[in-house]
């Protein structure tokens, strides 16, 4: 493989993984202060020019409902928030896991496969668990989109890794 082609593939992989890692970090960090973030979001939507639209689409009423439940739960049972702390931590750990493919994509391609499987798992979880937990269908679709959008940079990485292996004369792993 020519150096310029390998550099091009590595640049694509680095950009794609940087986007994925940033998304995981943001998701993780923002899962810690849920109540204050939700209070701010509901307040901002209520005061915005889009307030009427957010009410008619049930976005604002849903956020206010979730905020009321979260506030009541945190006031009476604050230890339940520990579960979302672990969710946040898991996002941060997953972000760290993708440093391996960032540094050596060919040797760590299995993590790309792992990420794609995790993204695929988001969809049935959101649809099934969301139904069981009474989450509105539109919100479940938003949750599904995290799996779909998360898979895009991973698919781009997989394609670039395959090309690197092909150009190096190596046989891609299944």
Q: Are 160 and 168 in contact (CB under 8 A)?
A: no
10-residue mean pLDDT profile of the chain (174 residues): values are 86 98 97 95 88 78 94 96 96 98 97 98 97 94 96 98 88 54
Instruction: Report CA 100 to chain centroid distance, whole Å.
Output: 18
**Does residue 73 sit within a domain?**
yes
**Does residue 119 sit within a domain?**
yes
**Does residue 158 sit within a domain?**
yes
**pLDDT for the residue 170:** 55
**Does residue 93 sit within a domain?**
yes
**Does residue 173 sit within a domain?**
no
Q: Are 122 and 132 in contact (CB under 8 A)?
A: no
Q: What is the spatial distance between Cα 129 and Cα 133, in angstroms, rounded to a whole number?
A: 6
**pLDDT for the residue 172:** 52
Q: How many domains does the structure of the chain reveal?
A: 1
**Does residue 96 sit within a domain?**
yes
pLDDT digits (tens, 9 = 90+) for 67-94: 999 999 999 999 999 999 999 999 999 9
- Full residue range of the structural domain in which residue 88 is found: 3-168
Q: How far is CA 149 from CA 122, 134, 155, in A?
A: 11, 24, 10
Q: Helix H segments across 31-79?
A: 34-47, 51-56, 59-76
**Does residue 68 sit within a domain?**
yes
Residue 63 structure tokens: 């956020």
């Amino acid at each position: 493989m020519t150096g310029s082609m390998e550099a091009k593939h590595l640049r694509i992989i680095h950009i794609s993984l940087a986007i994925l890692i940033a998304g995981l970090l943001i998701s993780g960090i923002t899962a810690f202060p849920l109540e204050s973030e939700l209070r701010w979001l509901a307040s901002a939507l209520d005061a915005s020019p889009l307030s009427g639209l957010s009410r008619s689409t049930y976005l604002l009423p849903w956020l206010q409902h979730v905020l009321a439940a979260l506030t009541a739960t945190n006031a009476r049972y604050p230890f339940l928030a520990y579960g979302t702390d672990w969710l946040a931590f898991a996002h941060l750990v997953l972000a760290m896991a993708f440093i391996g493919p960032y540094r050596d994509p060919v040797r760590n391609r299995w993590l790309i496969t792992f990420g794609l499987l995790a993204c695929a798992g988001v969809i049935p979880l959101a649809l099934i668990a969301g139904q069981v937990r009474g989450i509105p269908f539109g919100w479940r679709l938003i949750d599904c989109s995290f799996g779909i959008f998360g898979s895009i940079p991973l698919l781009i990485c997989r394609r670039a890794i395959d090309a690197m292996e092909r150009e190096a004369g190596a046989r891609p792993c299944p």
